[in-house]
Amino acid sequence: MFPNLDKVEVKESVNYLPAGVHEVQVDEMKNSTQKADYTGTPYVEFKVSNSNGISYLRFNGVDNNTSEKAAEIRTKIFKEFLHSAGAKTFGNLPTACKEVIGGKINVCLAEREYWTNDKETGEPVVKTITEYKFANPSGKSIIWKDSFNKKLSAADSAAFQAAYDAHVNSNSGTTTDTMPF
C-alpha cells in the first residue's frame, strides 16, 4: 500500500513562536504580488525567527474596499514595524522592506480566537491564531500583558454557540464516521 515507506525521508517539524515577546531576526519578505492569481487584500509578509522557532508577520495593505480609518491604522502599524526594524527610507516601499532583512527586532505576538466553519465538515469550530501585535527595536524591551491575547467576545461566543447548535440539530441522527478502518 505504501511502497518503500522505510526509505521515505520526513522533514523535521517547524516550531512556531507562541504568544509573548521575542527577539527575532527578519529573515525574508514576500508580498501578495508574488502569489499567482491572488485577488484579495494586498499584503506584505515577513518571516522572522530565533532559536525557538519562526513566525510570519502579515501586514494587510489598502485596497478599494478599505475604509479611510482602516487605511490610516494599517499604514501606521506597518511604518512602526519598519521603523523598529531599522528602515530609514520610507518613500519607496521595496527599499524600506529590503532595509530590514537580516536585522533584529523585538516583537510582541498575541493570540486571537475566532470561529469559523470547518472546510470539510461544515461544523462550527473555535480556532486560535498567533499574530503580530507591535514591535520595538532590538535592545528596547517590551513588557508582556495577558490582556494582549483576545478571547472570543460575548457576542461572538453566542453566535458560535447558535451556529454550533444549528449544525448539531441539522445533523442529528446521521453519522459522520467515514473512516474505512
With vertex at residue 96, the alpha carbon angle to CA 91 and CA 101, rounded to the nearest 5 degrees, is 175
> Quick one: pLDDT at residue 12?
78
Phi, psi (degrees; rounded to nearest 5) at 145:
-130, 135
pTM listed for this prediction: 0.83
**Rounded Cα–Cα distance for residues 122 and 110 (Å):** 27
Task: Give me the residue label for grid cell 448539531.
Answer: 168
Partners of residue 109 on adjacent β-strands: 20, 132
Element (H or E) spanning 159, and its range?
Answer: helix 154-170
Per-residue pLDDT of the chain (181 residues; tens, 9 = 90+): 888 888 888 887 889 999 999 999 999 999 999 999 999 999 999 999 999 999 999 999 999 999 999 999 999 999 999 999 999 999 999 999 999 999 999 999 999 999 999 999 999 999 999 999 999 999 999 999 999 999 999 999 999 999 999 999 988 765 555 556 5
